[in-house]
Amino acid sequence: MDLLTALVDKGLRRELPTRDEALAVLATSDDELLDVVAAAGRVRRQWFGRRVKLNYLVNLKSGLCPEDCSYCSQRLGSQADILKYSWLKPDQAVDAARAGVAGGAKRVCLVASGRGPTDRDVDRVSQTIEAIKGQHEDVEVCACLGLLSDGQAERLRAAGADAYNHNLNTSESTYGDITTTHTYADRVDTVHRAQAAGLSACSGLIAGMGESDEDLVDVVFGLRALDPDSVPVNFLIPFEGTPLAKEWNLTPQRCLRILAMVRFVCPDVEVRLAGGREVHLRTMQPLALQLANSIFLGDYLTSEGQAGQADLDMIADAGFEVEGAQTRTLPDHRELPAAGLCGTHGSDGAGRGTDEAGCGGHAGGACGSHRPGVAAAAGVSAPGGVRTDLVAVRRRGAGTDLPPNA
């Protein structure tokens, strides 16, 4: 296909595709799907080889959030039967993180529900970061605490945080339909604060909330302009007790097209296969590794994932290797401070901070984008009803007395 040849050439040059080209990827037929995956896979291998980065989530504070994000099981008014607890102590968080690191995780993501941290909360998280770094010097730590205010990003950076997550989630034009308690611009501001403090920005999206192809392209182009170093791609799991409980809009083929489009638009960025992959990709998960170079290991914030060993087996069976702690994730041109735009953008002029493209609250796959076990996949695409069989609420790990899954 002429389209795919053009997109591969642009991806290898880090050049921004046109919106029409991105839309055309989403509109390809099932007969063309393997060609699309192969083309985007060339771009992925150019910048990341056959490495897969493992990330591990620790839910520092679960539930009881005052925000009304429709996708989230921790939202204001949620009836989801999730674990609810206040802040973990640093030693509890270290114990939770240890399981992920032992499973091969290179990054630990510390997440807390809420609109944003108080200064006391930042002190708590800073102590936790220092404790984790004290035991695991080479592990990256990403914080995800909601909206940041003056000086908070700098304090997290001083404590040893490497990154900050705040997801874009959806397009600016549809953002108000998903969340009303804060704005798209609020989220953008937090990403800019993190970047200005020297933190690596992590910002992604949630697909499957009823958005159009145009909305998906809008949100990914917004991410390209925002220029995060990592982009989690979540596939909504409609969680019982949330407003989106009946939104079943995805198929494995649709998910692969979305991942391919993200890879073409953000060619040299860490694209993370995040929440909902077992439910929506199902047996096609290994094929998605041709597009994404990063995944979450084990459980998510309020729901269970497939066994951590199953993730490791999948990576090995697909011919990939787990990225080691001493290996740089990003290409050299993105690691150099002098790059300014982190090397993502070509001659299109779309630089960091040039587009008020928002950024979401919780780490990739958190809240409403949860991961149930693979065995629950049957009938997933059936529309029109709540599927209580597809989401296994997390009852182990952080906030419980049971060992975590990693």
Catalytic residue among 142, 266, 359, 367: 142
Let me know: does 202 contact 228? Beta carbons within 8 Å. yes
Let me know: does 58 contact 96? Beta carbons within 8 Å. yes
Catalytic residue among 272, 277, 334, 387: 272
Q: Is 255 a catalytic residue?
A: no
Catalytic residue among 75, 109, 124, 263: 109
Q: Is 272 a catalytic residue?
A: yes
Query: Rounded to an integer, what distance in angstroms lies between the CA atom of residue 233 and that of residue 311?
Result: 17
Cα distances from 143 to residues 14, 129, 245, 380, 394, in angstroms, run 28, 9, 28, 32, 21
CB contact set of 343 (below 8 Å; sequence gap of 6+): 14, 268, 331, 333, 334, 336
Buried b (16+ CB within 10 A) or exposed e, 355-393: bbbbbbbbbbbbbbbbbbbbebbeebeeeeeebeebbbb
Q: Is 144 a catalytic residue?
A: no
Give 62's DSSP letter: B
Please report where in the chains the tokens 């990739």 appear, as a residue.
364
Catalytic residue among 51, 65, 187, 266: 65
Catalytic residue among 44, 51, 72, 98: 72
The tokens describing 387, both together, are: 């599927």
Q: Is 359 a catalytic residue?
A: no
Query: Rounded to an integer, what distance in angstroms lies between the CA atom of residue 81 and that of residue 63?
Result: 10
Please report where in the chains the tokens 């906030």 appear, as a residue.
399
Q: Is 109 a catalytic residue?
A: yes
Known catalytic residues are 65, 69, 72, 109, 142, 202, 272
